[in-house]
Structure 1
Amino acid sequence: MHKFGLIGKKLGHSFSKRYFTQKFEQEGITDAVYELYELPTIAELPQLLQANPELVGLNVTVPYKEEVIPYLDELDETAARIGAVNTIKITNGKTKGYNTDYIGFRDSLERFYPATKHSRALVLGTGGAAKAVCAALQNLDINYTILSRTAKPGHLTYSTLTPERMPQYQLIINTTPLGMYPAVETFPDLPYQALTPLHYLYDLVYNPEETLFLQKGKAVGAQTINGLAMLHGQAEAAWMIWQKA
């Protein structure tokens, strides 16, 4: 029996177990199971692997996408460049980290947003998911600015994002957990009154399907998308990696 799973701190919101269990049933895959592994700290990963020698693949979710790297034997080139891992392949006890968030986001964004050479994106957040998003934007030649809570070189802060600056950024991507269940009343602190039908709002959050961030965009006619398409894309890319010899 091949065992796959998800590691993270709190996994009650996880879509992965449901997705892969359904996939195994639909595709007649009878020699695989997918489990959830909540780890209080990433330092417990070696013990998890030792206790579960049948594990051949793991997904990684918050807050361990960056913290997991020192515990891996090897990094895929793209994951090393991004500095975050969401997929681990385990072969003969050796671990190799990959980033399929990058693939899932890039492919879904291409279907959602009609990029031009003048496109500019605003990326909300600085975590592991934000790193994958920024790598995909670079790949697609979309200029971007990172918006963070604290002042850093080259970043905007929420306090400096004025309504007058909003038209510069046609694409706004939320990589933070703001709005995620159960804290559905939260949302990024933006000058929403400056949004127009020319804006495209992408929220990596998928539960609920429509966050307040997206609702506020939709109210003024902006185009919106949640993180489900990205999730499906990254999951399928992870499956492809796990199936490679």
Structure 2
Amino acid sequence: MEEKENKQLFALVGRNIAYSFSRDYFSKKFEKLNLRNHQYINFDIESIADLPKKIKENKTTLKGMNVTIPYKLEVFNYLDKIDRKALKVGAVNTIKITKKGKLKGYNTDVYGFKHSLLPLLKKHHKKALILGTGGAAKAVGYVLKKLDIKYKFVSRNPSSKKGISYKELSEELLQKHTVIINCTPLGTSPNIERCPDIPYQFLRSNHLLYDLIYNPEVTTFLQKGIEKGATTKNGLEMLELQAEKAWEIWNS
């Protein structure tokens, strides 16, 4: 009876997340820590409007959630409270359920990205290109601003002053922007041959290419950087760091 009462459930909120880093990571973590009453599942939902139903179904045991594509922005409307940093970023990827049953949103992508990027930065890394404009891209932009690295968002249809289109990427622009971060899903397994449409021929050894994708380990985007002698990094460490930060929040 006691075991049932102490059950603690955690979940990943997203769409088409049959395989998820979070479920695998936390399931192994619970096993390692011998937390038999802890379970991590996927809330694979077609619409964010389905979230309240999922929460209601698991009301007695649900303690926290992670949020992934495409709901990091949409989830705002379903939260009772939002952490100040997440509010500034404009995206939530971690939700804590308080003792009173309230939902509070946080952003741990910021922590994960910052601490995985810092060891790679050199003095000449003054300007960056962020490929994509979703929730993860917003967290990346927030970190770069804090690190005093000027950046531009690159997308197919730029809507902000800080945005440019892929067609505008010239040799001159790539020589100035020596940090390039892929925040799009292009190149994720199984479609590993895909990559963002940037002029890779203008990459040099002073470039730093960071891909938020971790599966495959070396994406086509990163491989094209390696061929030009650039420094490269995938998103695995960022994911691990943000997951640990989420765990800290849920247990605080």
- State if a TM-score over 0.5 links the two structures: yes
Aligned ranges 1:1-245 → 2 under 5 Å: 1-53=7-59, 54-91=61-98, 92-115=100-123, 119-152=126-159, 153-244=161-252
Counterpart residue type for residue 187 of structure 1: C
Provide closer, same or farther for how the CA distance between residues 138 and 115 of structure 1 changes in structure 2, counting only shifts above 3 A: farther
Structure 2 stretches lacking a partner, 5+ long? 1-6
Could you report, residue by residue, the CA deviation over 1:173-222 in whole angstroms, capped at 9, with x for unpaired residues? 00000101122121011110000111000000111111100000001110
Please provide the CA RMSD for this pair: 1.1
Which stretch of the first structure deviates more once superposed, 106-115 or 119-128?
106-115
- Find runs of 4+ consecutive structure 1 residues off by over 4 angstroms: none
Counterpart residue type for residue 41 of structure 1: S
Q: What TM-score, normalized to structure 1?
A: 0.96
Provide closer, same or farther for how the CA distance between residues 176 and 7 of structure 1 changes in structure 2, counting only shifts above 3 A: same
- Percent identical residues: 50
Aligned partners of 2:120, 2:73: CA distance in 1, in Å? 27
Aligned partners of 1:158, 1:180: CA distance in 2, in Å? 20
Could you report, residue by residue, the CA deviation over 1:13-61 in whole angstroms, capped at 9, with x for unpaired residues? 3111110011111122222111111011000111111100110100000
Q: What TM-score, normalized to structure 2?
A: 0.94
Aligned partners of 2:232, 2:20: CA distance in 1, in Å? 22
Structure 1 stretches lacking a partner, 5+ long? none
Counterpart residue type for residue 166 of structure 2: Y
Aligned partners of 1:157, 1:94: CA distance in 2, in Å? 40
| Pairs aligned (count) | 243
**C-alpha displacement at 1:115, in angstroms?**
4.7
Q: Secondary structure at the match of 1:239?
A: helix
Aligned partners of 2:175, 2:34: CA distance in 1, in Å? 49
Could you report, residue by residue, the CA deviation over 1:113-170 in whole angstroms, capped at 9, with x for unpaired residues? 2355x61111111000000000011111111111111133231110011123211011
